[in-house]
Structure 1
């Protein structure tokens, strides 16, 4: 057993709650822009004073509508300004926010609102309202549905016009640090999603220590974040609250199809993303360079960036020749890549899945450092992350200051600290299984090095045991294969089988480009190219690259390209993009069997 901890950098308030932050900002930084709001295609600053006034106005409307302290309110919307506004308004009315992914099905909506006992739900669009209304008769506690696109903010503000600021602040003060702030339902890779109860204390301990440890990235009046991950996800919520706590300017991007334009116009200094975003930026840039006949230049630039980053970790640092090449490629290639990310960002926070050492070194080498972290809904997002000044690429960093990470004898990662959830809502059995003597059992496997840097090696319940008795952790090879431009998803199989196989899907955005470069029809699909020798050879190279990361017994011997995508709509991945392995295995049982025939 091994464990590591760091002293806390932030003292959690003994009382009070998250609404104290917006009142403090208005008092101490009244004219500082705390939010950037896009209106008619242009960004408009919202000052700390203006934001507090809007929050209070909506909170008055909730109170006037009968919302009581401790009531649960659903919030179903894309990432937009109103999400943050309504979240703080719900807290200011003394209530508890229950996030609902805007992609949720009617059945999922019914479960989350019903299990939490929500008395109201704020939705973004008419489609969302229709989805909630379709299960309204099975939600006896649900008394209100307000729609953002039908002037929910203005209507609530008007409804509460007779109430005073003092009445709102009185209500806001009823919740203390140990009161529930939110119930975030897990993605549910198996079974029903469980509602993680996160208190105001959880967020104070989490966000306070993150901001203090990364303080150079959270400079009031200078720094900014463009949030494009779902705020319904706990990682998006962490960044939202971190921006308010710092405070720094927060922008919202509801549609990632226009992300490049939003990055260019908002120009954030810090970016929050998942590895797939950074993979696509890299793969897209490389494909464009190849199409322009500059593929060899890009590859040399990429190799130089990686070598430069690796040299930064040595005592001697980059040698003169490497520094010279790096300076040349900075003008030819790296500057253009940084411009795609807005031009001002020097750092990113990457979570949700492993970024991989190659991409980690590549991005640091071009002057854009991606700090990997690790966490779960139950740990209020990041429970470990790389510090800005002592990054170890390939790890998920050191424990959150003020918390403890322990590696159990069987390799499971255990967590302890004030940032942890307190219980699963209405589920004592699951709570008792996950929390034991103050330690949360993550179900993840990992190792700690001598400096306390954590490396995640797999999932305890996802370990495959081949017929030959070899234990295989799928995550390592899956993440490596998935990093290839052609691959959208990868799921390793082989439990009880003679060897390891893989189910793959092709990236729908990259496939047409590959087809054009190789003289295939413009309307080529995964089905039409399923037997194409050149495509199969390209996919095999991706598999070979993945195999290079593991032993021969763990390597993929055969693969099958699936005819359909594994998506949230198809029911094969969660809203946070985690594979529902049991569902995939069931729906593609024939493809799995085909791997082992003969």
Structure 2
């Protein structure tokens, strides 16, 4: 495995070895299409020569500002084959955020998706000191192209491809020669963290770090992932978890299928019928919430059948999880429960899933156990931008809900005195770009300080208790991990998101964003989020759901009061990151007056 020291060498060997094997697929309506390995290599080759025509030199920066697609992936590989550096940019970023990343990374070439992204560039173009070329994947208006500065050359996607074809004929051996010249210490990518506490930091990831990450996953899962497997890739490739998903096909012989879009994933699952799926907890939370919501609409008989099936299945898996053998009666009960209730849930994901991987944020153990009833095994894992995504994962042979599992491959884990998780691996950032201070703070003696607080279970699995910076210390000196409470609140039907507040206060309160869709399903239609947030009946419903959560919490963890945010937490208003993490400092500052008023009211 490790004989390939760069992604480009890994890609070239993989696609050359089995040229006729299906490799990359994509969904188009009800059709499933594929490129074989030879066609896959030819596509990347064409993109490579298109970049060469734009005077791409080794270690030049190429930024990609677009939604997930096979073209994104081809640009990613072609850039690395050219020994240049990929800078992913979230398509949800605002113009000033795009400006920061393009300038900080010194981006020379920008691949953007469409007119909407072009408008951002037009707004900031005179501040972009390094940008020389733009390639648009989709149509951009002639008017927008005319408004572009003379210092920036624009190409349509078709022009780019045509140039790639011509250039490949002029220098037919350059592709292989450049790949052969690639070095393990070449910078492969500068990936910017989504910045929950300030300006995003650019994690410098080498070619070797990417290869070691893939090798770590391969070493741990080579007996579990089969050549007959198929993934459906829909996560943002601008996020390191989605990027890992798209690159796994380089070490496994499975088929990697790209979804049409995030909005069409549910429909695409029925077309692609994947056997493996990498997703974030929010996807599983929505499935779970929808099932419970539908059950509440059923008649009493169906509700009783569901309750029976849930108990029968839970009893069976409780024994399995404790390494005990269920009785013949319990096995029959479980199988009947699956046929009557849970098989429908399994089929919603395409009907062929062997296991799921959850990452990017913690997932509730309750959801893992529930999905298990539908024969859907969720492997919860853990990783950071700084570790090129996965470094710890629950193994397929045994999952322990509530933990993130065991270290992958060469990954070593230990804990600082305050419980902070420390990681050492070759699949790690080299540095934060142009930020020596942040680098020294994060990496000490080869160990990465993750910022997460955790512990080792008796089974030897790693468990995260909270983010170090998020720990709340009440005025009574109680340490509270807000993430666990926030995740439980989000499982309630009408709560979209929640932030727990209480540092140096006597008790905890919460800022709640409501689920607009859930109220619409309840028959409350034609009303805006803002109108619902001010409705006393909506407040009562949320109050009841918080009361339900409080029953499962210790007294010092319980939520004593709350208010509904007048607008949802969104990327657009700067209150969550593109990877859906709360920007707590921003939210605290935005609602400082409301928080103080709530405490004053509750304490009076």
Q: Residues 179, 547 of structure 1: CA spacing in aligned structure 2 closer, same or farther, 3 A cutoff?
A: farther
Picking from 287, 294, 297, the partner of 1:291 is 297
Partner of 2:2: 12
1:134 aligned to which of 103, 123, 139:
123
Would the aligned equivalents of 1:306 and 1:358 in 2 still touch at CA under 8 Å?
no
Alignment length, in residue pairs?
A: 581
2:61 maps to 72
Distance 1:95 1:404, change over 3 A: same
Instruction: Name 1:207's counterpart in structure 2.
Output: 214
Pair 1:583-2:586 in alignment: yes
CA separation in 1, counterparts of 2:290 and 2:276? 21
Instruction: Name the structure 1 match of 2:567.
Output: 564
TM-score by length of 1: 0.93
Change in 2 beyond 3 A, CA 1:118/1:460: same
Rounded Cα–Cα distance in structure 2 between residues aligned with 1:43 and 1:335: 24
- Cα distance in 1 for partners of 2:71, 2:460 equals 39
- Distance change >3 Å, CA 346–CA 541, structure 1 → 2: farther
Q: Is the 8 A contact 1:72 1:118 kept in 2?
A: yes
Q: CA deviation at 1:62?
A: 0.8
SS at match of 2:390: strand
Taking a change above 3 Å as real, the CA distance of residues 304 and 357 of structure 1, as seen in their structure-2 partners, is farther
Tell me by how many angstroms 1:53 deviates. Answer: 0.5
Query: Which of the residues 159, 162, 176 maps onto 1:155?
Result: 159
| 1:424-457 deviation line (CA, Å, top 9, x unaligned) | 0111111111111101111110001244311110
Is 1:89 the counterpart of 2:78? The answer is yes
- Give the secondary-structure state (helix, strand or coil) at the position aligned to 1:102: coil
- Deviation (angstroms), 1:480: 1.1
Structure 1 residue 295: deviation in Å? 3.7
How many angstroms apart in 1 are the aligned matches of 2:65 and 2:260? 13
- State whether residues 443 and 460 of structure 1, in contact with CA within 8 Å, keep that contact through their aligned partners in structure 2: yes
Q: Report how far residue 314 of structure 1 moved.
A: 2.0
The offset of 1:264, in angstroms, is 0.4
Contact 2:26 2:260 in 1 (8 A): no
> Could you tell me whether the CA contact under 8 Å between 1:573 and 1:579 is conserved in 2?
yes
- 1:288 is displaced (CA, Å) by 2.4
Spell out the pairing of 1:18-97 with structure 2 (5 A cutoff). 18-39=7-28, 41-97=30-86
1:551 aligns with 2:554: yes
* Structure 1 position 525, deviation (Å): 5.2
Query: 289-298 vs 199-208, which deviates more?
Result: 289-298
Which residue, out of 216, 230, 233, partners 1:227?
A: 233
Q: Distance in 1 between matches of 2:53 and 2:304?
A: 65
How high is the TM-score relative to the length of structure 2?
A: 0.92
What residue ranges of structure 1 are gaps of 5+ in the alignment?
A: 1-10
Q: Decide which of 439, 460, 472 is 1:431's aligned counterpart.
A: 439
Give the direction of change, closer, same or farther, for the CA distance of 1:497–1:327 in structure 2 (3 Å limit): same
Q: Give a deviation string over 1:471-504, Cα, whole Å, max 9, x none.
A: 2121111111112222110100011111111111
Q: How far did residue 593 of structure 1 move?
A: 1.8
Q: For the residues of structure 1 that align with 2:209 and 2:550, how far apart are their CA atoms?
A: 40
Match of 1:322 in 2: 330
Equivalent of residue 87 in structure 2, options 90, 98, 101? 98
Q: Judge conservation of contact 1:93–1:171 (CA < 8 Å) in 2.
A: yes
* Aligned residue number for residue 152 of structure 2: none
Of 495, 498, 507, the residue aligned with 2:503 is 495
Kindly provide the CA deviation profile for residues 300-356 of structure 1, in whole angstroms up to 9, marking residues without a partner as x.
433443333222112323334432232112112211111111111121100122211
Structure 2 Cα separation of the partners of residues 120 and 183 of structure 1: 14
Distance 1:307 1:570, change over 3 A: farther
Please state whether the residue corresponding to 2:516 is helix, strand or coil.
coil
What SS does the corresponding residue of 1:135 show, helix, strand or coil? helix
Listed as ranges, the gaps of 5+ residues in structure 2 are 140-154
Alignment of 1:169-208 (within 5 A): 169-208=176-215
Contact in 1 for aligned 2:85/2:187 (Cα 8 Å): yes
Counterpart for residue 145 of structure 2? none
Residue 535 of structure 1 and its aligned partner are, at CA, apart by 4.5
Q: Distance in 2 between matches of 1:196 and 1:314?
A: 41
Whether 2:409 is the aligned partner of 1:406: answer no
Confirm or deny: 8 A CA contact 1:183 1:196 kept in the other structure.
yes
Residues 207 and 242 in structure 1, CA contact (< 8 A), matched pair in contact too: yes
> What is the distance in 2 between the residues matched to 1:329 and 1:259?
27
Q: Deviations over 1:184-232 (max 9, x none)?
A: 0001001100000111111111111212312244322x11111111011
Look up the match of 1:236: 242
Asked if 1:266 corresponds to 2:272, the answer is yes
How far off its partner does 1:547 sit? 3.3
Q: Out of 268-277 and 29-38, give the one that drifted further.
A: 29-38
- Deviation at 1:362? 1.1
Whose RCO is larger (CA < 8 A, sep 6+)? 1
Structure 1 stretch 242-251 or stretch 573-582: which is displaced more? 242-251
- 8 Å CA contact 1:79, 1:230 repeated in 2: yes
Change (3 A) 1:47 1:412: same
Structure 2 residue aligned with 1:305, among 313, 316, 321? 313
Q: Is the 8 A contact 1:217 1:270 kept in 2?
A: no
TM superposition shift of 1:511: 1.7
Residue 16 (structure 1) shift = 3.4
Residue 150 of structure 2 is matched in structure 1 by: none
Q: Tell me the C-alpha RMSD between the 2 structures.
A: 1.9
Query: How many angstroms does 1:142 deviate by?
Result: 0.6
Question: Does structure 1 retain, via aligned residues, the 8 Å contact 2:215–2:409?
Answer: no
